[in-house]
Amino acid sequence: MSNMHRIHWFDEQIRGGRFPNSSWLALEFEISRRQAQRDIEYMASSLRAPLVYMAKYRGYCYEDQTFRLPHLYMTEEEQRVLKYLAHRYRHYNYDQSDAVKRVAHLLERFTLEEQQMGSSELPLFSAQPKQLQFFELLSHAITDLRRVHIHYRDHDGERQFSLCPLKMISQFNADYVVGYEADPVQQVAIRLEGIVHVLILDERFEYRSDALLGGWEEPLPVRKPFVAEIRLKELKQMDLWQGYRIRARQDHIYSIEFYDTDAFLQHLFISEWEEILSPGWLRRKLQQSAEGLMDRLAIQRQRKQNVE
């Protein structure tokens, strides 16, 4: 990963009023604190960033808030990220969807200096390296008409199968690949978040113009999001909680919007929080998923003991 990617992240943290430091940078990108400090020094010396260390907050801010990072050379890695984000923005069908879709066509020329959206904010999508890799592999398989072998994991357990991939889609802040295993009529949508491994096979399949069934192309109906009231461990001065919009906050209690229940449950499993206040059905669903996981672990442990 290039240091410019890390510098952009550091710049975003400063503009968000979060006073980042070298420890944050090192932890976020799994690098040494010495390397992180070199990135910060590069910002100050080579990019002329007016960095000021605030001892009170143990982090950096900009002395001049009008500072903008200069236009930078775009690496191949960053081009792949933009391709992924263009895909996500094209399938965004919620607030300000028309404006967001227009951005999808401009991403190749999109820079921090050109991001003048007024009071409107673009939705934040996390681009995990693992999902970016799967997105590239599956896109290549779709273009090359190649069958893929998928190792998949969800709340129901793990399974492996081969798939003829036809199209990539996004629904409710989650990515899917649409395809079929044997019968072109029996198509399924596989969530990228649940994929453990993808292998492109030598076997090719024949694509027909009528192979993709109707329905996948239709825009999703705009509906009101669910709202969860969650008590977080740390007070966060931001509008998004790792991609999920914060509608309101009072002390440590946040009202957080979400559309896809399964995706939000997965988010709760890996995020830090103290208490889910509402809705009750979300608490029960999370508890059932956790109990199901514990039951499977108990069965696995019992089987292991029987073998021994």
Distance CA 253, CA 227 (A): 12
Distance CA 105, CA 122 (A): 14
Label the pairing between strands 187-191 and 240-241.
unpaired
Class of domain 3-62: mainly alpha
φ and ψ at 86, to 5 degrees? -60, -40
Instruction: Say how many Å lie between the first and final Cα of the chain, rounded.
Output: 45
What pLDDT sits at residue 288? 85
Tokens of 12: 């975003």
Label the pairing between strands 226-231 and 275-278.
antiparallel
What pLDDT sits at residue 60? 94
Q: Is 150 helix (H, G, I), strand (E, B) or coil?
A: strand
What pLDDT sits at residue 93? 61
Distance CA 102, CA 81 (A): 18
Query: What is the H or E stretch that residue 238 is in?
Result: none
What pLDDT sits at residue 10? 92
Q: Sign of the C-alpha dihedral, residues 229, 233, 239, 241? A: negative
User: Can you give the pTM of this predicted structure?
Assistant: 0.40
Q: Which fold has domain 129-204?
A: SH3 type barrels. (2.30.30)
Q: Sign of the C-alpha dihedral, residues 264, 266, 267, 268? A: positive
Domain-wise residue ranges, the chain: 3-62, 129-204, 226-283
What pLDDT sits at residue 121? 45
Tokens of 226: 């669910």
Per-residue pLDDT in tens (0 to 9) along the chain, 308 residues: 457 778 888 998 998 889 999 999 999 888 888 889 988 988 888 788 899 999 989 999 998 888 887 655 555 566 666 677 767 666 666 555 566 556 665 554 443 333 433 334 445 455 566 777 888 889 889 888 999 999 998 777 788 999 999 988 876 567 889 999 988 888 888 888 889 899 999 999 887 655 565 555 444 444 567 888 998 876 656 677 776 778 888 878 888 888 777 778 888 888 888 889 988 888 888 888 888 888 888 888 888 777 76
Could you tell me how many helices (H) and strands (E) the chain has, helices first?
8, 12
Q: What single DSSP character describes residue 259? A: S
